[in-house]
Amino acid sequence: MTGCARPGQPGRCPITVNAPELTADPYRGFGRIREETPVALGRVADGRNVWIVTRYRDVSFVLTDGRFVNNSRSVPGSTTDHHARSLRWLGLAEDLVPHLSEAITQLDPPDHTRLRRLVARAFSGRRISALRPRVRALTDELVDALPGHAAGGTVDLVEYFAHRLPIAVICELMGVPAEDREMWRAWSEGYTDALRLQRVLTESTAYIRELAERRGAEPTDDLITALVRARSGESGLLSDRELVTMVFHLMVAGHETTSGVIGNSVLALLTHPDQLALLRSEPELMAGAVQELLRWCGSMVFAKPRYATEDVRIAGTLIRRGDTVLPVQGAANHDPRHFPDPERLDVTRPPGTGDTQHVAYSRGPHYCLGARLADQEVEIALRALFGRFPEMELAVPERELTWRPVPGVRQLTRLPVRLGAPAAGAA
């Protein structure tokens, strides 16, 4: 897969995946690619060529078909870990590379299966339902503490709410002390910044090792304690490095993506007052509305790259063994071939199941572990904010809002709102 060409368009250079225009407006940009060609040739920052897949049917196929793997070393005859090579290209210290290249999201069976089984119970429906009262309490605490709350003033909801709720919840689940939430929030936000990544990993992995030792000596009812037991058991289900890597990635994944969805969802409803009015008049629509918001304005634009383990065709394009494929979930979720009138936000749209559902949480063996928890957080957050502040509105024109300049991510940097008068009877 070399040369300056794009399928069906000879002579055209590969699309730069991290191009400023695709980062600034990824839904529109990848949407154009989707309508031009189902499979386009692209290039990522380290110079590798990738096949960009944008249509719902094809994205679902790549995410679920066993011929596509998450680690390039799983390709028969391959010894190169492309993700590790990219991290070295960024200048990451060699001893830190495994904490990213060997994360659960980068692994294939049997290691992926073994590690996922260790943490799956913590994210079961029963465990997440039991956590609901605590999520509601944490949400209420943050709403009560919003600057300008008593006077119905102006506040940045990204800074004071969307960033803070998910980190509080994942700290609770993992067993990270409340006083360390802000530290983890800073590490999570620095994770996608190449200039801060080395320091983030150095500090956070040292913290995890120290906390794991404390949990080994003084166990509590949390996920870190459960992982320490798995590491210490005779079965040897978890190595020291795997424990540290697992905790780091669960903390980051439990914060960043959900934070983005909360901010994006609040903005979407503020700019679609008809849909917000529907939710106020029919609050039972909220659970389905969360799924529609994930489809319409999810915070992750594309998934981890996949690698073909054998020659396979996608929409008529031959993908060779070892080729890299980039499934663009954000484009798939707006595919008019699958979703009628996909650019319209419709909180009454049936959420669907299985092959009819959005792919914001991926699909197949790497379906998001924390999907239930994220759904719960977003639903509780929206109910609390719009229930407490029925007059809430944007404090700046929508065109003045800015987005994080990170390829593959759609997250607001700030969301200034005027809260308005609290609802009657609200504190």
Is 162 a domain residue? yes
Is 54 a domain residue? no
Mean pLDDT for the stretch of residues 353-375: 92
| Number of folded domains that form the chain | 1
| Rounded Cα–Cα distance for residues 191 and 399 (Å) | 27
Quickly count: other Cβ atoms within 10 Å of residue 262's Cβ: 30
Is-contact 149 422, C-beta < 8 A? yes
> Is the torsion defined by CA of 45, 324, 105, 93 positive or negative?
negative
Is 251 a domain residue? yes
State pTM to two decimals: 0.93
Query: What digits encode the pLDDT tens for the residues 2-41?
Result: 444 443 343 467 999 999 999 999 999 999 999 999 999 9
Q: Pairing mode, if any, of strands 154-156 and 68-69?
A: unpaired
Q: What is the dihedral of CA 236, 239, 242, 248, to 10 degrees?
A: 100
| Rounded Cα–Cα distance for residues 418 and 393 (Å) | 5
Which band of pLDDT confidence, cut at 50, 70 and 90, is reported for residue 353?
confident
- Residue 370 pLDDT > 70: yes
Three-state DSSP class for residue 308? strand
Is 14 a domain residue? no
Q: Which residues pair with 15 in a beta bridge?
A: 42
Phi-psi region at 8: left, alpha or beta (left = phi > 0; alpha = psi -120 to 50)? left
Task: Show the domain range for 150.
Answer: 63-292+304-322+364-418
| Axis crossing angle, helix 111-120 with helix 223-232, rounded to the nearest 10 | 130
Is 107 a domain residue? yes
Which band of pLDDT confidence, cut at 50, 70 and 90, is reported for residue 235?
low
What is residue 426's predicted lDDT score, i.e. its pLDDT?
61
What is residue 153's predicted lDDT score, i.e. its pLDDT?
76
CATH number of the domain enclosing 268:
1.10.630.10
Is 350 a domain residue? no
Query: What digits encode the pLDDT tens for the residues 77-122?
Result: 999 899 999 889 888 999 999 999 999 999 999 999 999 998 998 8
| Rounded Cα–Cα distance for residues 56 and 58 (Å) | 6
Query: What digits encode the pLDDT tens for the residues 47-56?
Result: 899 999 999 9
Three-state DSSP class for residue 354? helix
Query: What digits encode the pLDDT tens for the residues 117-153?
Result: 989 988 988 999 999 999 999 999 999 999 866 556 7
Per DSSP, the residues of 401-415 read --B---TTB--BS--
Phi-psi region at 412: left, alpha or beta (left = phi > 0; alpha = psi -120 to 50)? beta
Q: Which residues pair with 324 in a beta bridge?
A: 307
Mean pLDDT in the chain? 91
- Alpha helices (H) in 158-317, listed in sequence order: 164-174, 181-190, 197-217, 223-232, 240-270, 273-281, 286-297
Supply 145's token pair.
């503490």
- Residue 324 pLDDT > 90: yes
What is residue 151's predicted lDDT score, i.e. its pLDDT?
59
Is-contact 197 90, C-beta < 8 A? yes
Q: Pairing mode, if any, of strands 416-418 and 154-156?
A: antiparallel
Supply 304's token pair.
């981890």
Hunting for tokens 């009454």 — which residue is that? 348
Hunting for tokens 């000596």 — which residue is that? 217
> Is the torsion defined by CA of 328, 329, 334, 338 positive or negative?
positive
What is residue 236's predicted lDDT score, i.e. its pLDDT?
63
Judge residue 371's burial from the number of C-beta atoms within 10 Å of its C-beta, 0-12 exposed, 13-18 middle, 19 or more buried.
Answer: middle
In order of 32, 95, 225, 313, 382, the CA distances from 251 in angstroms are: 34, 20, 15, 37, 22
What is residue 8's predicted lDDT score, i.e. its pLDDT?
36
Supply 314's token pair.
């996608």
Mean pLDDT for the stretch of residues 241-265: 94
* 59 φ, ψ (degrees, to nearest 5): -60, -45
